[in-house]
Amino acid sequence: MSPTDSSSPGSVPRSVRPYVVLTGNPNCGKTTLFNALTGLRAKVGNYPGVTVERKEGELQGAAQNIRVLDLPGTYSLSPQSLDEQVARDVLFHRLPEVPSPALVIVVVDASNLQRNLYFATQVIELGYPTVIALNMVDVATDNGVSIQTEQLSLALGVPVHPIVASSGVGVLELTRSIAARAVQPPSPSTPRLFCELPRNYGLEAEKLTEALSQSFPETRYQALAEALLILSDERIVQSSPRRYSPALLAQVAAARQRLESQGVDWRSVPIEARYARVSAIEQMVSTCAPIHGDSTTDKIDRVVTDRVWGLVIFVAIMALIFQGIFSLAETPKAWIEWGVESMGRWVSRQMPPGPLNELIELGVFKGAGAVAVFLPQICLLFFFIGLLEDTGYMARAAFLMDRLMSKVGLHGKSFIPMLSSFACAIPGIMASRTIESPKDRLVTILVAPLMSCSARLPVYTLLIAACIPRVRVAGVLELPGLVMLAMYLLGVIVALAMAWLFKKTLLKGPTPMLILELPPYKRPLLRVVLRHMWDRSRLFLRRAGTVILGINILLWFLASYPKDRAAESAFEQRLALAKAAPAAAGVSTQERDAAFEQLRKEEAGRRLRESFAGRLGRGIEPLIRPLGFDWKIGIGIIASFAAREVFVSTMSLVYNVGELDRDSDAGLQTLAQKLQEQKAADGGAQFRPRIALALMVFYVFALQCVSTVAIVRRETNTWRWPLFQWVYMGALAWGFAFLTYRIAPWFGLS
């Protein structure tokens, strides 16, 4: 049962449970502490209206039910990204669905005290009961830094608890402090600032504070903090234009003009004043012993971030990861497929024949298999991503690739999602969450499916085997291998071109400079990596899985109906005659089984051709005829919207080869031979090299994957972008396939 389920026996209603917020800078160990406080009972979702991840759990070891919310990492209350904006809105109590916190836990990196205290002092000024979790004291000690926590507590006016979240040191004491303070009523106090402002600046801030207090139901603390923000940072107003009235905006503009006329830089004064105060606190509470020589992190970075060796190491790591994904996922993938199919057949045997039986076996269980079969790849990918993040290497990888990606308008962090999409676009798109800029993240999502994923491989293999002659080029390279390479390169080139186009037009805007904190290297914690993997994989199954299952059931219906009772009766009669044939004509058992199998193949092909999907195939034939495709290929295109590899099994049904294992080389070879035998209306071969090339190019670009559509809907929180993506990729597919079909004869491929 969910930890926040108000229906659990003896539970406290949600409305009266204390609400604790966990916040801090990125890379301060905040999420590690959240996992330590809540265990495996976290609830992962999104904040309404945005794709920012919301993680909420229940404090373990507390006598009373206390909810803990893990906010996105942020460097200050002046947001630079959507994640940081959500964190600020929660702290200012602007999100109705998030209760006002009874306690705020600010996680501070002890090894980088000054920068972390900048944000911590901003949070303390908001007036909430606050506790400082001084994390990574072990790293600080290794760096020769010693912090006097009692003096720091006196300087900040709030409790300070030294901890090492990764090993659990100090977490129990922190938990007890949270449990005690979260249920205490807040004590009245006077708003305080950690920065000494010039008198004229303070007076202007005080006037804005009065205006904000009258306009919004804020505390005096929050009004003062917001007044300083809107006075010193014009982006605050730009990010929330409908929040402030014209009169208030005019008051802000007038205050800035008065300060400028007095020679005061209204942008930098509060920032410089806060840093001066924070620096003074740091000098007062910490001492740093001299360290001779470079640190271990510096020594590793000299090699890992080198322009040449850094790229070599990066390519080697990526090769190992994707080799691991492909090889390690095969066995669990086969187990899942076998398990789902076996369960479907068992359930089918327990039910009487009929439409409901077919729905359960072919619709529900095959739909569930279409969802579950992605799970091994997704789990492995996010396991490796979590491993790279926890060691600190992921930031180095983004730094290395930023120079290349920025030339086409992509962010350096776009490289990992795009590379991941060669295995499967779904985890690749999910991996784009590390990109802070909403526009850059959206561009990455829009172009990631252009990478040739593993689902395209059976289609390429079938068409190359059936239609591309095994001839050598330049006496060394074989044409089939070059064609396969060309398909992969074509997707990469067009993806980069489309990214450049989107950044110049639809999602116009400069690519933000990649500003990265390179965290120190550390030994990864298996439980943290596994938790990262579990959260992402569970989210995929719960959100995308339901949509995928529903659309697979719809596609089953289109491929199975309407029923032709007369044709089915005729099939039963032919089958009965075939069963009687051995006694009448001395037919062997082997020949009889072959005859039965051929009859079943023909019947399966007839049903598919006469189904709604078959009719749709005929319906789209005028659209695909210019590409050299007929209505039979049209059926394959429609059916493969469930997944690209479904094209292979669909073609086997259309051409009466029967259902085959898409991973079976023998099955693919049989189908390839069948395709070679097909004749067109002019008497020539139906599947010629130019048609095969056009069809492969079509599959390079077409968004023939309901799973990808579902996950794009999940990540963008709207149907607008997946529909746009489906249309633009479909247009690319048609256009490039048309050009391929027309140009191929120029190169002797008729």
- pLDDT tens digits, residue range 588-603? 667 667 767 777 767 7
The percentage of the chain sitting over the pLDDT mark of 70, rounded to a whole number, equals 82
Of 126-135, 140-149, 212-221, 625-634, the one with minimum mean pLDDT is: 212-221
Please give the pLDDT value at position 678.
64
Selected residue with higher pLDDT from 363 and 311 = 311
Which of 79-88, 183-192, 704-713 is modeled with the greatest confidence? 704-713
Residue 95 φ then ψ, to 5°: -105, 110
Residue 480, C-beta contacts closer than 8 angstroms, at least 6 positions apart? 464, 465, 468, 470
- Give the pLDDT mean for 325-343: 77
The 3-state DSSP class for residue 146 equals strand
What are the φ and ψ backbone dihedral angles of 629, each rounded to 5 degrees? -95, 145
Q: 157 exposed, middle or buried (CB, 10 Å; 0-12, 13-18, 19+)?
A: exposed
Indicate the pLDDT class of residue 6, thresholds 50, 70 and 90.
very low
3-state helix/strand/coil string of 553-604: HHHHHHHHCCCCHHHHHHHHHHHHHHHHHHHHHCCCHHHHHHHHHHHHHHHH
Domains identified in the chain and CATH numbers: 16-181 (3.40.50.300), 199-288 (1.10.287)
Please report where in the chains the tokens 């794709």 appear, as a residue. 51
Looking at residue 184, its pLDDT comes to 81
pTM, rounded to two decimals: 0.68
Tokens describing residue 295: 């640190």
- Distance between CA atoms of residues 86 and 72, nearest Å: 8
727-738: average pLDDT:
96
Chain segment 215-250, per-residue pLDDT in tens: 776 677 888 888 898 898 887 777 677 788 888 889
Distances in Å between the alpha carbon of 355 and those of 361, 362, 376, 633?
10, 10, 32, 27
pLDDT the model gives residue 9: 35
Give the number of other Cβ atoms within 10 Å of residue 485's Cβ. Answer: 11
Residues facing residue 68 across a β-bridge: 20, 57
The token duo for 732 is: 């690319």
> Helix H segments across 305-392?
309-349, 355-358, 366-372, 375-391
Q: Is 286 helix (H, G, I), strand (E, B) or coil?
A: strand
% of residues, the chain, pLDDT over 90: 23
How many helices (H) does the chain have, and how many strands (E)? 34, 11
Q: What is the pLDDT of residue 497?
A: 93
Question: Tens of pLDDT along 406-440?
Answer: 888 887 778 778 877 877 888 788 878 767 778 88
Q: Any bridge partners for residue 69, and if so which? A: 21, 56
Helix axes 457-467 and 689-701, enclosed angle (nearest 10): 170
Rounded mean pLDDT of 520-544?
Answer: 76
Judged against a pLDDT cut of 80, whether residue 368 lies above it is answered with no
Please tell me the distance from the alpha carbon of residue 388 to that of residue 415, in angstroms, as a whole number. 14
DSSP, collapsed to helix, strand or coil, labels residue 66 as coil
On whether the CB atoms of residues 400 and 305 are closer than 8 A, the answer is yes
Question: How far is residue 204's CA from residue 557's CA, in Å, rounded to a whole number?
Answer: 68
Average pLDDT over the chain, rounded to an integer: 80
